[in-house]
């Protein structure tokens, strides 16, 4: 029996379809092979090490060394190893905190300019082996290297070329020592991701007791070629940081920002440690010959090292958020310094701010709205799906959207099903093929009209733009200038919540009170009767006068989610409109308005004076006084802070009565406003006399003087 007609027909049809599909595949293959080429690399390219480093993005700097115990920023090299004595050193606490903060690595000051080594170097006695810590048997780098492994962090090392301790600094012998130490460091502590060479070089120092100034030639003295070879030999995966790289460059400031235009390119042979035109490093060089991306180093406090007096100066959340957007969001990495304290721990205030930053960034980048959109482009290379627009939202950093050869302007459009609110855009070029784009703008379609929201220059490895919330159905990125066809691997959109930070409250000499928050979408509510404010209290709209003693309570409130800050309380006494400084025992009288301008940031200081200094103030009217306040200088380098005082009052500027005499406890370490109360007395004139100034400085400085009146 033969097979039925039906069956034969089915087999024939199957064959037919099979041939059609096969032909389809062959056509596609031929088309792909002939029509579509990969885009060619353009300009200097990143090395494998640099690509790995770009992924680090956010990591910690630890400044912990001799300066931590001498309360210095730059020790001169004459310190004794016995001074290095942490009582609770716990590198695991560092690693855990850093990891929890979302950072990927840590770079530690193995040796700073004072020459003290955190490891028991066999080339010097100036190290922890002669310190009391662990009876001289410890090795901080070894412990840190283990803690990093445990917490999944990469480790980097800071080694200062300048060594103010070493007797032979300035001679060839020191360079051999420097290279030997580099070998020692790169051999004994596992994988190192970055070697940090500081640009600060040469000058005065202890130098083994010589106590003199030694100048060196930054370009030649350290034999950089040899030092670089040592790194390449012992840590082939590490990048080398320096003013001009060669792996990673300094960003030209210590404030944590890159310029908006920021090339990962540099005319590298022109730049050397201590480069005079260092401000160029904020943008790199558009015509750079090498790939040398920028790293933003900044401390979470004013100083790099721990100083107890800076416990009140940890950077605010809004400042840290700005740093994040102005470094990582501007094609640079962020190296945020944590000054480990003299116990040997990351201070709890620093840890708290790190976590606040982490949480805020998580909130800002919670849901990528681009993935909900339909993406199209004006040009797709070869019309191929390999280079299609959709690649920018596929979450794969190896795929990208690009255009045909010689097409250097193009647009990519994102269409949302419903009107969508957006206030952040994140863009990434596919940098393995070079940095190309130097002109782009963002347009949003609002009620049928296209409006430009922002115009910018470079993108690089990551660019993030913040703009006012826009509700849109379509948003497009127009590439307006590119050195070669643009290649973009990723584009994301977000709706970041309002930034909720405590209100900053100020009053001027005339009694005018202003309140401020960073985000203009946040509201401020306050009370003047001592009660707790809420969103039902009086809303702050414009400055107002406070003449009488008043306790102001204020909150910042986010109308979008009804969240609010804790209450900020500030007490204002009588305003200082009629106040006048009548007399100072030395120093400029002209400047004395700074003592009574209700602005603690402005400082007045006397001249150096061996006798106690005095300030006499006329309050303009008679009041019942029951105390006074002294706010010490608030700047980075405190001086002239009164530690013992005498305070007197008078009704006629002739007969004086001393109402308080004493000490401002712990004012050096904690330079906050001092409030001293005394028995209520009538007075129109007040006199502050300094009996003792901290560090035996014989100047008297004042951030602000105030009174407490009886109401």
Nearer to ligand FUL, 201 or 360 (CB): 201
Secondary element (H or E) of residue 229: helix 224-234
Nearer to ligand FUL, 300 or 683 (CB): 300
Nearer to ligand FUL, 248 or 470 (CB): 248
Nearer to ligand FUL, 156 or 199 (CB): 199
Q: By Cβ distance, which residue is nearest to ligand FUL? A: 200
Q: Determine how many CB atoms are found less than 10 A away from the CB of residue 376.
A: 16
Region from 15-23, 149-157, 198-206, 584-592 binding ligand FUL, contact rule CB under 6 A: 198-206
Nearer to ligand FUL, 297 or 492 (CB): 297
Nearer to ligand FUL, 253 or 316 (CB): 253
Shortest Å distance, C-beta 262 to ligand FUL: 20
> What is the CA angle 652-658-664, rounded to 5?
130
Asked if 457 contacts 479 with a C-beta cutoff of 8 angstroms, the reply is no
Of 639, 642, 644, 648, give the one whose Cα is nearest residue 616.
648
Region from 95-103, 192-200, 309-317, 546-554 binding ligand FUL, contact rule CB under 6 A: 192-200
Tokens found for residue 577: 């409109």
Region from 196-204, 378-386, 496-504, 513-521 binding ligand FUL, contact rule CB under 6 A: 196-204
Of 48, 129, 13, give the one whose Cα is nearest residue 81.
129
Q: What is the spatial distance between Cα 337 and Cα 73, in angstroms, rounded to a whole number?
A: 13
List the interface residues with ligand FUL, window 586-645 (CB under 6 A).
none
Nearer to ligand FUL, 196 or 387 (CB): 196
Q: Tell me: cis bond preceding 443? Omega within 30 of 0 counts.
A: no
Q: Determine how many CB atoms are found less than 10 A away from the CB of residue 18.
A: 10
Asked if 623 contacts 685 with a C-beta cutoff of 8 angstroms, the reply is no
Residue environment code for 287-307, b if the CB has 16+ CB neighbours within 10 A, otherwise e: ebebbbbbbbbbbbbbbbbbb
Shortest Å distance, C-beta 478 to ligand FUL: 39
Residue environment code for 102-141, b if the CB has 16+ CB neighbours within 10 A, otherwise e: bbbbbbbbbbbbbbbbbbbbeebebbbbebebeeeebbbb
The 66-95 contact track toward ligand FUL, x by CB under 6 A, reads -------xx---------------------
Of 581, 554, 594, 592, give the one whose Cα is nearest residue 687.
581
Shortest Å distance, C-beta 306 to ligand FUL: 13
Shortest Å distance, C-beta 375 to ligand FUL: 42
Nearer to ligand FUL, 65 or 606 (CB): 65
Region from 83-91, 195-203, 358-366, 530-538 binding ligand FUL, contact rule CB under 6 A: 195-203
Nearer to ligand FUL, 113 or 557 (CB): 113
**Strand partners of residue 158:** 109, 196
Tokens found for residue 139: 């090795």
Q: Tell me the number of residues near ligand FUL by CB under 6 A.
A: 7
Shortest Å distance, C-beta 342 to ligand FUL: 17
Sequence-separated (6 or more) residues with CB below 8 Å from residue 262: 282, 283, 284, 294, 330, 331, 332, 458, 460
Region from 90-98, 193-201, 496-504, 570-578 binding ligand FUL, contact rule CB under 6 A: 193-201
- Pick the binder of ligand FUL from 79, 143, 198, 704 (CB under 6 A): 198
Chain centroid offset of residue 174 CA: 34
Q: What is the spatial distance between Cα 619 and Cα 706, in angstroms, rounded to a whole number?
A: 10
Shortest Å distance, C-beta 550 to ligand FUL: 44
Nearer to ligand FUL, 74 or 639 (CB): 74
Shortest Å distance, C-beta 302 to ligand FUL: 12
Shortest Å distance, C-beta 414 to ligand FUL: 41
Nearer to ligand FUL, 297 or 523 (CB): 297
Sequence-separated (6 or more) residues with CB below 8 Å from residue 17: none
Shortest Å distance, C-beta 84 to ligand FUL: 17
Of 153, 134, 156, 136, give the one whose Cα is nearest residue 92.
153
Shortest Å distance, C-beta 162 to ligand FUL: 8
Shortest Å distance, C-beta 274 to ligand FUL: 10
Shortest Å distance, C-beta 164 to ligand FUL: 11
Shortest Å distance, C-beta 76 to ligand FUL: 13
Nearer to ligand FUL, 339 or 587 (CB): 339
List the interface residues with ligand FUL, window 302-341 (CB under 6 A).
304
If one asks whether residue 297 binds ligand FUL (CB under 6 A), the answer comes out as yes
Nearer to ligand FUL, 162 or 416 (CB): 162
Q: What is the spatial distance between Cα 198 and Cα 163, in angstroms, rounded to a whole number?
A: 11
Sequence-separated (6 or more) residues with CB below 8 Å from residue 608: 697, 698, 699
Q: Tell me: cis bond preceding 203? Omega within 30 of 0 counts.
A: no
Of 323, 306, 336, 431, give the one whose Cα is nearest residue 105.
336
Nearer to ligand FUL, 73 or 591 (CB): 73
**Strand partners of residue 704:** 631
- Pick the binder of ligand FUL from 167, 200, 356, 446 (CB under 6 A): 200
Region from 194-202, 365-373, 374-382, 585-593 binding ligand FUL, contact rule CB under 6 A: 194-202
Asked if 464 contacts 425 with a C-beta cutoff of 8 angstroms, the reply is yes
Tokens found for residue 309: 């007096």
Shortest Å distance, C-beta 141 to ligand FUL: 17
Q: What is the spatial distance between Cα 585 and Cα 566, in angstroms, rounded to a whole number?
A: 43
The 129-158 contact track toward ligand FUL, x by CB under 6 A, reads ------------------------------
Q: Indicate the burial class of 490 (C-beta count within 10 angstroms; 0-12, 13-18, 19 or more).
A: buried
Shortest Å distance, C-beta 134 to ligand FUL: 25
Q: Determine how many CB atoms are found less than 10 A away from the CB of residue 159.
A: 20
Nearer to ligand FUL, 73 or 508 (CB): 73
Shortest Å distance, C-beta 199 to ligand FUL: 6
Nearer to ligand FUL, 253 or 409 (CB): 253
Binding residues for ligand FUL, rule: CB under 6 A, are 73-74, 198-200, 297, 304
């Amino acid at each position: 029996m033969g097979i039925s007609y039906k069956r034969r027909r089915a087999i024939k049809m199957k064959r037919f379809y099979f041939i059609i599909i096969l032909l389809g595949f062959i056509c596609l293959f031929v088309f792909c092979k002939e029509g579509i080429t990969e885009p060619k690399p353009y300009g200097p390219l990143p090395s494998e090490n640099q690509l790995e480093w770009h992924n680090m993005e956010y990591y910690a700097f630890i400044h912990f060394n001799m300066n931590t115990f001498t309360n210095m920023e730059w020790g001169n090299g004459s310190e004794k190893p016995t001074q290095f004595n942490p009582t609770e050193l716990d590198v695991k606490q560092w690693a855990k905190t850093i990891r929890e903060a979302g950072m990927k690595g840590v770079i530690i000051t193995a040796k700073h300019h004072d020459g003290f080594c955190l490891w028991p170097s066999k080339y010097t006695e100036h190290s922890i082996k002669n310190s009391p810590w662990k009876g001289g048997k410890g090795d901080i780098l070894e412990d840190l290297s283990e803690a990093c492994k445990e917490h999944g962090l990469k480790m980097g090392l800071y080694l200062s070329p300048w060594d103010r301790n070493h007797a032979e600094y300035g001679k060839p012998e020191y360079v051999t020592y420097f290279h030997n130490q580099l070998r020692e460091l790169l051999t004994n502590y596992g994988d190192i991701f970055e070697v940090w060479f500081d640009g600060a070089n040469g000058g005065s120092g202890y130098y083994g007791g010589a106590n003199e100034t030694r100048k060196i030639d930054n370009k030649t003295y350290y034999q950089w070629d040899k030092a670089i070879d040592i790194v390449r030999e012992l840590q082939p995966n590490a990048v080398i940081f320096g003013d001009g790289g060669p792996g990673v460059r300094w960003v030209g400031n210590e404030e944590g920002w890159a310029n908006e235009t920021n090339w990962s390119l540099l005319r590298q042979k022109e730049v050397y440690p201590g480069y005079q035109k260092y401000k160029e490093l904020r943008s790199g060089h558009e015509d750079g010959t090498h790939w040398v991306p920028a790293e933003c180093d900044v401390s979470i406090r004013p100083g790099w090292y721990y100083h107890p007096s800076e416990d009140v100066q940890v950077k605010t959340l809004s400042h840290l958020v700005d740093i994040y957007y102005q470094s990582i969001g501007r094609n640079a990495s962020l190296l945020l310094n944590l000054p480990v304290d003299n116990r040997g721990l990351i201070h709890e205030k620093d840890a708290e701010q790190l976590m606040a930053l982490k949480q805020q960034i998580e909130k800002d980048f919670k849901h990528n709205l681009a993935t909900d959109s339909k993406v199209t482009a004006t040009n797709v290379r070869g019309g191929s799906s390999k280079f299609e627009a959709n690649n920018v939202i596929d979450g794969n950093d190896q795929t990208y959207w690009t255009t045909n050869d010689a097409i250097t302007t193009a647009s990519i459009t994102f269409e949302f099903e419903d009107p969508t609110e957006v206030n952040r855009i994140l863009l990434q070029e596919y940098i393995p093929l070079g940095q190309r784009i130097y002109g782009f703008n963002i347009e949003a379609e609002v009620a049928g009209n296209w409006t430009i929201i922002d115009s910018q220059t470079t993108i690089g490895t990551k660019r993030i733009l913040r703009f006012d919330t826009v509700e849109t159905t379509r948003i497009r990125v127009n590439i307006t200038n590119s050195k070669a066809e643009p290649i973009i691997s990723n584009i994301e959109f977000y709706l970041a919540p309002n930034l909720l930070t405590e209100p900053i409250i100020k009053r001027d000499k005339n009694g005018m009170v202003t309140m401020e928050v960073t985000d203009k979408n946040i509201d401020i509510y306050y009370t003047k009767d001592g009660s707790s404010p809420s969103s039902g209290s009086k809303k702050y709209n414009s400055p107002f006068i406070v003449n009488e003693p008043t306790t102001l309570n204020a909150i910042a409130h986010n109308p979008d989610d009804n969240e609010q800050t804790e209450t900020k309380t500030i007490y204002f006494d009588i305003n200082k409109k009629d106040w006048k400084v009548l007399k100072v025992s030395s120093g400029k009288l002209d400047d004395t308005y700074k003592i009574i301008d209700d602005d603690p940031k402005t400082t007045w200081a006397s001249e150096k004076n061996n006798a106690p200094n005095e300030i006499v103030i006329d309050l303009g009217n008679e009041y019942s006084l029951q105390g006074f306040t002294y706010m010490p200088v608030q700047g980075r380098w405190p001086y002239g802070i009164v530690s013992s005082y005498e305070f007197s009052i008078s009704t006629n500027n002739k007969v004086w009565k001393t109402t308080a005499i004493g000490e401002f406890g712990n004012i050096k370490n904690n330079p906050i406003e001092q409030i001293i109360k005394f028995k209520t007395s009538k007075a129109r004139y007040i006199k502050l006399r300094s009996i003792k100034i901290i560090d035996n400085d014989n100047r008297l400085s004042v951030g602000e003087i105030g009174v407490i009146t009886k109401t």
